[in-house]
Amino acid sequence: MADVRNQKILIVENDYSLNSLIAINLKTAGFYSQSVYSGNEAKEFIKSNLDYFAILDYELDDINCEQLINELSEGNIKFPFIIITGHSNQKLIVKMMQLGAYDFIIKDVGFSNNLPTLLVKSLERYESKKKIEDYQNEIIKREEQFRNIFNNVQDIYLVISKDFIVEEISPSVKSILGLEKENTINRYVSELYMIGSDWKKHYRQLFKTGHLINAEALIKTNPKMTPKICLINAKKVFFNSVEQFKIIATVRDISEYKRLENELITKTIKAEEHERKIIAESLHDDLGPLLSAAKLFINLLKNPEKNIKERGELTSSISEIIDDSIKNIRVAVNSLMPTTLSDYGLEKAFRAFVNKLTLNVKTNINFNCKLNQDRFGAVIETTIYRSGIELINNGLKHSCASTIELVVEQIEDNLWLKYSDNGVGFNLEEQQNPEKAHGHGLANLTNRIKALHGKIHINSTPGKGTSVQILFVLSNMYDF
């Protein structure tokens, strides 16, 4: 995070002496500040200087800061601020926080000396909020691009014989795939699929159901072009008898959509990780001191020399600290930023997790890692790590297994995550049925993997354990 002391500060305080004292303390702490002494003066300054963070005295000679904030809001002007006041009023604190205040500081003895430290914490929260808003705006921008692409997309139209030979194809094959129409006609449709694309699966579905709906495949192009990710829709059209039919198909290039989708997923996951990091820092800064204080009071409570009154006071203090701690924990999420992962990569992150876990569970957890490179993209690493953690946690919770195996393996361009256990297993068909499944763990995991163009295979039988294999082809991952 950038040094928050680079943020320019506006001091709005009608007491000239106090205003000057605050300015001196901020300058000593490394801040640049400007001073104004009335609400109307502050209003005009903020209108033309939106890059300032304001320290607002609540009660000014001409208008109070609530009126100042509301008048600027009516002009669609929003600015970051903290409140300083000589009055401690719970309702006032709540109202100011609702209006957007980053802190509410009581002007007690020596408050101006502590103000720079409190200001730094407020500015860090402000910078974190701006970062998340930037991610959200980027996501909205990408979604608008998606809509524009689909509104202007071109399709390739084909007529295919019952022997799966291309009989006719639209001229758009030239502009989309870079292929000449004459060189495409009278060729098997399978020749248009890239190696690795499951064209046989599409054939089977078409024969079985008579249609193919929104099937994705990697389609060949002119050798000078990159293969295209395409969406295929096809239907059998019968003539006279069930023996006589042709296949009418459309092929839509969705490569740009997929690229933007990848960027969107990347932005979303990075925003999630950023929020987790903020929560981790918040727990460290806010919860740590509370627990240290609680431990201190508990040790004092053990002192046999303390009388009943003193013990009662200590007990009340401990109770208040516990209440504050609970509030801090409730605003945190369960999954925090995995610092071992961001600092050292997949192998050390998994080993740290497994080593810690084996101290607290009876299940034997074996982890093996075979990687050809130290680091991968942040999104790939995060997805692989969280998938592995989720599979292990699910296994411990539901499988009753005595042994769990987890392997992370790189074979050439393929990155694998392989999980297996010798537990009770489950009915895979029921688990994949939304009406019968317990929770959404498998569905969410599968959707997350597929969103990143990965593949997942789940195999489980009641009484015979469970295995899950997840594959990412690294060359298909763009800038992940």
How many Cα neighbours within 13 Å face the side chain of 301?
15
Is the pLDDT confidence value at 348 over 50? yes
Q: Are 165 and 188 in contact (CB under 8 A)?
A: yes
Residue 440 neighbours by CB distance under 10 Å:
11
Q: What are the C-alpha distances in Å from 136 to residues 102, 266, 277?
A: 20, 12, 17
Euclidean distance between CA atoms 391 and 381, whole angstroms:
15
Residue 188 neighbours by CB distance under 10 Å:
14
Selected residue with higher pLDDT from 456 and 297: 456
Tens digits of residue pLDDT in 88-115: 777 787 788 888 888 888 888 788 888 9
CATH (residue range 4-125): 3.40.50.2300
Mean pLDDT (whole number) for 408-431: 89
Give the pLDDT band of residue 334 (cuts 50, 70, 90).
very low
Domain 339-476: CATH architecture, name and number where available: 2-Layer Sandwich (3.30)
Residue 475 neighbours by CB distance under 10 Å:
9
Q: What is the pLDDT of residue 244?
A: 81
Q: What is the pLDDT of residue 299?
A: 78
Tens digits of residue pLDDT in 271-328: 667 666 766 776 666 667 767 777 777 877 777 877 878 778 778 877 887 777 766 6
Domains in the chain: boundaries: 4-125, 154-253, 259-330, 339-476
Give the pLDDT band of residue 335 (cuts 50, 70, 90).
very low
Helices (H), 51-103: 65-74, 90-98
Q: What is the pLDDT of residue 268?
A: 65
Mean pLDDT (whole number) for 429-455: 68
As a whole-number percent, the residues of the chain with pLDDT over 70 amount to 85
Fold of 154-253: Beta-Lactamase (3.30.450)
Selected residue with higher pLDDT from 261 and 362: 362
Q: Are 180 and 191 in contact (CB under 8 A)?
A: no
Mean pLDDT (whole number) for 418-422: 96
Q: What is the pLDDT of residue 155?
A: 85
Q: What is the pLDDT of residue 282?
A: 65
Read off the tokens for 246.
């042709």
Residue 462 neighbours by CB distance under 10 Å:
11
Mean pLDDT (whole number) for 189-215: 83
Read off the tokens for 337.
């930023």
Query: Which residues, at least 6 apart from 363, have a Cβ–Cβ distance to it below 8 Å?
Result: 395, 396, 401, 402, 403, 404
Q: Are 364 and 402 in contact (CB under 8 A)?
A: yes
pTM exceeds 0.85? no
